[in-house]
Structure 1
Amino acid sequence: MKFARYVLLNLLVLALAGGAVLWFKREALHIAAASVSQSLCAATFVSRIDPDRVYAEEQQPLMDSISWAVRYVVDRPHREVRSTVMGLFHARSEYRDGLGCMLAYGDDPVPQTTTFNEQVIPDAFGSQVVTPTDPALQAALDQAFAEPDPTHPRLTKAVVVLHDGQLIAERYAHGYGPETPIWAHSITKSVTQALIGILVRQGPLRLNQAAPIADWASPVDPHHAITIDQLLRMDSGLPFDETNGPVSPSTHMWFRETDTAVYAARMPLAHAPGSAWGYSNLSYALLSKLVGDASGGTASGAEAFVRRELFAPLGMNHSVIETDASGTLLGSGFMYGSARDFARFGQLYLDDGVVAGRRILPEGWAAYAHSQTLDTGYGAGFWTNLVNKGSVPVWDAPWGMPQLPKDMFYARGAFGQYIIIVPSEHLVVVRMGLSVQGGGTGIGNATAAIIAALHHTSPATLAVR
């Protein structure tokens, strides 16, 4: 009897301990389930690639010690993915025509929208993959796709190279191609920067005005004076919100909130506006709200604005920015687009916001995008190559790429997404991949090799140019 009581007591202690662990880890487990559902829904119905492969390459490494407890079901007839962690934490993401996937809360049906029937513009680059004949360019692509460390796979999925506006080289991993939309992560911020630029050109917004956020309307609110420029530059005073752990203000915003802009607007300031830089998904959630407010306040209105004013003029036929449950664009990190689409976007900035003789962005907007913020290597929606010492706070990552020319600037997203723009070389290089397990991507050295191939010289000479 004493032994039985001892066993029962220990089981009770273990159960209580397990319950306590689940209680303290519940936010991370909710986020894990939502991340799996959202990612695999987009893989299946937006990118149209194998969700099991995406789970193995992207989500499973992120799950770390809980991957054994993750289950997911891809429901193609209902166009949704359901995920669970330990059978206790559930998430569902559903695909919507023209809007990508959206996290659903509970079992309520997801609001649908009419199918977008815009005219698809023929791809000016043609339907065939452009394989370079220059051995040096071929070697540079080999370098971009190399896997030097099997314990830290780079998993490059696409590389596209434009020179003088012409597609001169591209390569894709098996299962990917010129029309495959790929998750851009924080490259989306640079696209949101362009959408704000369009609204500045059209007149509804001004860079130096106080951001018209409803929650900040009171003059006594410490957020009240934050400008659109400060939101773009990430020196608004909002906290550095994306850490290396699974739980942060940004992951909570993306995977736990139905209205991302309301959550961002109510975040307390960490610094006085304009006094300090901090990486800010919150800022870009608020900028996304401004885009939505200017285009009717609905998901379909915002998406129609994006397509009409940016995607269609550039021929970005395979791009979509997803929305939250309130209809606000997830402009901080949830855009999908083909590597060619992102190359076209980079070319727009190389050409000072003009495409085919039509001005899309205000004159000088590209220069503004890579003008330095405070003493950092960040500009206004793009990273710069102006600082090659020190590192990004919190992340301990380098600011720039010292092997490339100083005038280079770039859009960057998690897991190795890059749009590298080098004005002095008339060059745009796009790299997309799933470099989830660290170790870098090598795209800086590969881009140096591409420039060297164009000059028929050694990459080692580029850093001093």
Structure 2
Amino acid sequence: MKSSRHRRRAWWLVVLGALIGTAAISAFVFRPDRALRVGTAVVSEALCGGVFVSKLDPQQVFAEDVEPNRGLQLLRRHLHYAIDRDTQTVSTTWLGHFRSVAHFQASYGCTLGDSVSPPRSAIAPLDSLPEPPLEAGTAALQAALAHAFEEPTKPPYRHVRAIVIMRDGKIIAERYALGVDPDTPLLGFSASKSMMNALVGILVREGRLDIHARAPVKAWDHADDPRSVITPDQLMRMTSGLDLTEGDSGFDPVSRMLFIEPDMAGFAERAKLKAKPGTQWEYTSGDTLIVSAIVRDLVGGHASDVLRFARHELFEPLGMHHTIMEFDQAGTPIGSTRIFASARDWARFGQLYLDDGVAGGRRILPQGWVAYSTRQTLDSDYAAGFWINAGGNDNAQWRVRHGMPADTFYASGLNGQRVVVVPSHHLVIARLGSTIDPPNFDMRGLARLVSEVIATEKPTPPMAQ
């Protein structure tokens, strides 16, 4: 035991010395200490959301959401996490250092930070109205769901947690994993960007925002600032040209923004231009965080204002009673990656876009907003918060060849969170899980699900006499 402790201590000293030396040599460009902080923050945030928001078993969350994460493979052995149910916090360290803490607050979800101030004003949780009973669906739909939930014989596993299928505005089939039910809020990761699209659309409908005018960002409000010409449209389409590279190394600026910076949008707004706005497409959550701050400021400036606005204008009209937005320490909604909703709520959200922005006879999104939101951006398969099959992009054409109609568009998030809308078949499919299989998170399985569900529309041929 003694020699083991000595070896561990010696190994730690070597690692620490390497980190300090590397950080000193490369200054602010390459910071291993930041990457380690990102790693512990990823764990704290995942466990906090999984345990306190989704109310899943912590061992399941760690096994399915944390352990398979490629970016944590080298750190996993020496990670230590502690869940305190009394204070509703999760803290994680690596070799006893690089501590990250996530705090849960009712209605606001989890926030990263050593000390998190309480919200400016308390917001009562949404009324949890009783959900209708489960809809198993026809035998053909049950078979399609069984295929989607089926696990391969070896990793990577699908870990599908919920699928809800709606046709003509009604749930026709659904299935849930053990421990998940119709009330369970599940993290959408980047599918959250599509919900931010809706909040922006509402502000446009109300005349409070012009997406083609200069973005109302104070940090850029100078005539000689080249970023001052960036528009909300360019931010939503990820053509801002800002130097906000997104990766999973822990060294990229978006990782720092999401897991270390207390004011995420403020960090993103300080980025320099690396391309002329509107000329290049590059996927980055940084653009969406800036949009999130614009929404925050236009509705009152505080997390509580955003939550009231989202509930009154979007969640309640759609019957989304199991949806939770999370915020950073600056009160900005983390609209890039941190919105939880039950699978039924995600499907209801997709139905809003299938119905051209109208719910219950009330126009939620402005006329033409869905068409705008699903129009191709440059030569990518991205639009303005949604991925699309329209256009000649190779990825889009692959999906069409594998059974997803050309008019399909969808919200998409890390690890296989998908809300698929197929207008030509009056179809919405919400699929949530922890499919850690980059880069496409079981897109082939999703395409099969869509094609099999569409196939159930076909009438059974008459039996031979």
TM-score by length of 2: 0.90
Residues 95-140 of structure 1, C-alpha deviations (whole Å, 9 max, x = no match): 11211010123xx3532454423762735xx4321101x2211111
Question: Among residues 229, 232, 245, which one is paired with 2:236 in the alignment?
Answer: 232
1:139 is aligned to: 143
Residue in 2 that maps onto 1:97: 106
**Helix, strand or coil at the partner of 1:28:** helix
Report the CA distance shift for 1:147/1:457 in structure 2 as closer, same or farther (over 3 A).
farther
Instruction: Select which of 453, 458, 461 maps to 1:455.
Output: 458
1:430 maps to 2:430: yes
Rounded to whole Å, the distance in 2 between the matches of 1:389 and 1:377 is: 6
TM-aligned CA distance change 1:79 to 1:15, over 3 Å = closer
Structure 1 counterpart of 2:207: 203
Q: Tell me the residue number matched to 1:375.
A: 379
Q: Distance in 2 between matches of 1:56 and 1:197?
A: 38
Question: Deviation at 1:219?
Answer: 1.6
1:445 aligns with 2:445: no
Judged with a 3 Å threshold, the aligned counterparts in structure 2 of structure 1 residues 94 and 18 are, in CA distance, closer, same or farther, namely closer
Alignment pair present for 1:80 and 2:80: no
Q: 2:244, 2:268 within 8 Å by CA — same for their partners in 1?
A: no
Answer whether contact 1:121 1:317 (CA < 8 A) is retained: yes
**In structure 2, the residue corresponding to 1:129 is in which secondary structure?**
coil
Tell me what 1:19 maps to: 17
- Kept in 1, the 8 Å contact 2:400–2:406? The answer is no
**TM-score calculated relative to the size of structure 1:** 0.90
CA contact (8 A) 1:384 1:400 kept: no
Q: Which amino acid aligns with 1:440?
A: D
Q: 1:247 Cα deviation (Å)? A: 2.9
RMSD over aligned CA atoms reads 2.3
Residue matched to 1:4: none
Give the conservation status (yes or no) of the 8 Å contact 2:244–2:254: no
Does residue 41 of structure 1 match 2:48? yes
- Change over 3 Å in CA distance of 1:401–1:302 after alignment to 2: farther
Identity of aligned residues (%): 40
1:241 deviation in Å? 2.4
Per-residue deviation, 1:61? 1.8
Where 1:345 maps in the other structure, the secondary structure is: helix
Q: Are the counterparts in 1 of residues 246 and 285 from structure 2 also a CA contact under 8 Å?
A: yes
1:250 aligned residue? 254
Report the CA distance shift for 1:400/1:373 in structure 2 as closer, same or farther (over 3 A): farther
Alpha carbons of structure 1 residues 118 and 90: separation in structure 2 relative to 1, 3 Å: closer
Q: 1:409 to 1:401 in 2, by over 3 A?
A: farther
Alignment of 1:351 onto 2:355: yes
* Cα distance between partner residues in 2 of 1:307 and 1:241: 32
Deviation at 1:455, TM superposition (A): 2.0
Separation in structure 1 between the aligned mates of residue 41 and residue 11 of structure 2, nearest angstrom = 30
Q: List runs of 5+ in structure 2 lacking aligned partners.
A: 1-5, 24-30
- Whether contact under 8 Å (1:121, 1:312) holds in the other structure is no
Tell me which residue corresponds to 2:408.
Answer: 408
Structure 1 residue 280 corresponds to structure 2 residue 284:
yes
- 1:181 deviates by 0.5
Give 1:127's aligned amino acid: P
Letter in 1 for 2:457: L
Q: Which amino acid aligns with 2:117?
A: V
* Runs of at least 5 residues in structure 1 that lack an aligned partner in the other structure: 1-7, 459-465
- The residue type equivalent to 1:368 in the other structure is Y
Q: 2:394 aligns to what SS in structure 1?
A: coil
Residue 278 (structure 2) pairs with residue 269 (structure 1): no
Which of residues 276, 289, 293 in structure 1 aligns to 2:293?
289
1:374 to 1:448, Cα distance in 2 relative to 1, 3 A: same
Question: Is the counterpart of residue 384 in structure 1 residue 388 in structure 2?
Answer: yes
**Superimposed CA distance per residue, residues 197-246 of structure 1 (whole angstroms, 9 cap, x where no aligned partner):** 00000011012111000011012111111111111111111246222423
Deviation at 1:26, TM superposition (A): 1.3
Distance 1:415 1:380, change over 3 A: same
Hey, what's the Cα distance between the residues in 2 that align with 1:352 and 1:160? 20
Deviation by residue 1:233-265 (Cα, 9 ceiling, x = unmatched):
111112462224233221110111011111111
Q: CA contact under 8 A between 2:44 and 2:81: conserved in structure 1? A: yes
Give the Cα–Cα distance (whole angstroms) in 1 for the partners of residues 85 and 398 of structure 2: 42
Deviations 1:421-465 (A, max 9, x none): 00000000010000114462511111110001122489xxxxxxx
Which range is displaced more, 354-363 or 42-51?
Answer: 42-51
Distance (whole Å) between structure 2 residues aligned to residue 280 and residue 332 of structure 1: 9
User: Equivalents in 2 of 1:401, 1:29: separation in Å?
Assistant: 41
- Aligned with 2:330: secondary structure? coil
Give the distance between the partners of 1:231 and 1:162, measured in 2 at CA: 31
CA contact (8 A) 1:388 1:398 kept: no
User: What is the SS of the residue equivalent to 2:96?
Assistant: coil
What SS class does the counterpart of residue 171 from structure 1 fall into? strand
Kept after mapping to 2: 8 A contact 1:239/1:280: no
2:303 counterpart of 1:305:
no
Task: Name the SS of the counterpart of 2:456 in structure 1.
Answer: helix
* TM-aligned CA distance change 1:400 to 1:72, over 3 Å: farther
**C-alpha deviation, 1:76, in angstroms:** 0.5
Specify whether residues 12 and 418 from structure 1 end up closer, same or farther in structure 2 by C-alpha distance, changes over 3 A only.
closer
Residue matched to 1:120: 127
Q: Distance in 2 between the 1:118 and 1:181 partners?
A: 13
Q: Which residue pairs with 2:117 in the alignment?
A: 110
Q: Is the CA contact 1:94–1:104 (under 8 Å) kept in the aligned structure 2?
A: yes
Query: 1: distance between equivalents of 2:264 and 2:11?
Result: 39
Amino acid at match of 1:72: Y
Q: Is the 8 A contact 1:238 1:280 kept in 2?
A: no
CA gap 1:149/1:386 in 2 versus in 1, 3 angstroms: farther
Contact 2:241 2:279 in 1 (8 A): yes
